[in-house]
Amino acid sequence: MTNASPHRIDVHHHFFAPEYVREIGPALTNQRVVTDWSPAWAIDDMEKGGVATSITSVTTPGVWTGDAAKSARLARICNEYAAQLARDYPGRYGFWAALPLPDIEGSLRELEYALDTLKADGIGLITSYVDKWLGDPAFDPVFEELNRRGAVVYTHPTAAACCAGLIPDIADAIIEFGTDTTRAIARWLFSGSAVRYPNIRIIFSHGGGTMPFLWERFLRASAAPKLAAVLPNGILHEIQRFYYDTAQASNEMTLASFTRLIPVSQILFGTDAPYRNAREYGPMLAGWGFSSGDLRAIERDNALGLLPRLR
């Protein structure tokens, strides 16, 4: 489709509330991209890439600062900014609301406000908090509530506390982001969270990180009696229920393994804007060889299944 007829729904689009940038500052990667971002710039970029709607989210490092009160305040600032963005540009923006995890009480308060008052499309989490990954029992109260609500939960990787700065001169995003997504998938599966919280529609970024490449190892691990017991329907059943976006995963090398494991119905269009954009990924996906129907599903229709308000 032409730029005059945007149709794609981008589930992986980052925004930067000015007050959040002032407080988090150096922790954000690629400061030039961050400081150049504005709602109007993003709309222009969406138009050029055929994106009708972007679902915005806070990127790594998220809103947790180590101080519960400050983190709750940052989450509220970001969520209200994103909600205002959606009001200012009707139909062009939605948002995944940030939570101040690992603060459980603060997160429960914020998810209620974000979903009920601000009408967020879902919740946006990062893959690990301090020394715990999604699926850790410490987070159960939050996921129990999200499961009760049948919420959509978008996840974004980070460099875990264990593993930041391991290789000199190599940014954590190069290796650690994909690896931390894989850790989160493993924890979500093997903690039994995937089975305990069946109503949560969870999205993993970047084509599932390194998980598709490590599929044989995941499969062998799941055969161990202790792990098999928490996955009564088998590991493949759960992995193929999750959703995955195409941000940084639209190249032919990644698609070769990703699309063999994950059905088209579970793949969502994502760009990682403003770090990347739809002008890059649209042609890459179109060139892979998807049928027109499958491409339409990835670029739009699968997201409509999760976000029917966009119809």
Where do the structural domains in the chain lie, given as residue ranges?
Answer: 8-310
Residues 277-287: b if buried by 16+ CB within 10 A, e if exposed? bbeebbeebee
Mean pLDDT computed over every residue of the chain: 95
Neighbours of 292 (CB within 10 A): 8
Given 3.10.50.40, 3.40.50.2300, 3.20.20.140, 1.10.10.10, which CATH number is that of 8-310? 3.20.20.140
Model confidence at 5, in pLDDT bands (50, 70, 90)?
Answer: confident
For residues 68-72, give the mean pLDDT. 97
Q: Is 27 exposed, middle or buried (0-12, 13-18, 19+ CB in 10 A)?
A: exposed
Region 75-102: what's the mean pLDDT?
Answer: 97
3-state SS class at 44: helix
- The pLDDT value recorded for residue 208 is 97
Q: Is the pLDDT of residue 102 over 60?
A: yes
The answer to whether residue 4 scores a pLDDT higher than 50 is no
Q: How far apart are CA 31 and CA 229, in angstroms?
A: 46
Structure tokens at 279: 């002008």
Is 50 exceeded by the pLDDT of residue 283? yes
Q: If you search the block for the tokens 């509330």, which residue do you land on?
A: 17
CB 158 within 8 A of CB 181: no
β-bridge mates for residue 98, sequence order = 124
Task: Note the pLDDT of residue 25.
Answer: 77
81-86 contact pairs (CB < 8 A, 24+) = 81/15, 81/17, 81/19, 81/20, 82/15, 82/17, 82/56, 82/118, 82/120, 83/118, 83/119, 83/120, 85/15, 85/39, 85/56
Q: What is the pLDDT of residue 29?
A: 66
Mean pLDDT of the region 179-184: 97
The dihedral through the CA atoms of 187, 190, 194, 196 has a sign that is negative
Any residues with CB less than 8 A from the CB of 170 and at least 6 apart, and which?
Answer: none
34 — pLDDT class (breaks 50, 70, 90): confident
pLDDT-derived band at 217 (thresholds 50, 70, 90) equals very high
**What gap in Å lies between CA 179 and CA 194, rounded to an integer?**
19
How much is the pTM? 0.95
DSSP annotation of 132 = E
Question: What is the per-residue pLDDT for 253?
Answer: 94
Q: Is the pLDDT of residue 2 over 70?
A: no
Q: pLDDT-derived band of residue 95, with 50, 70 and 90 as boundaries? A: very high
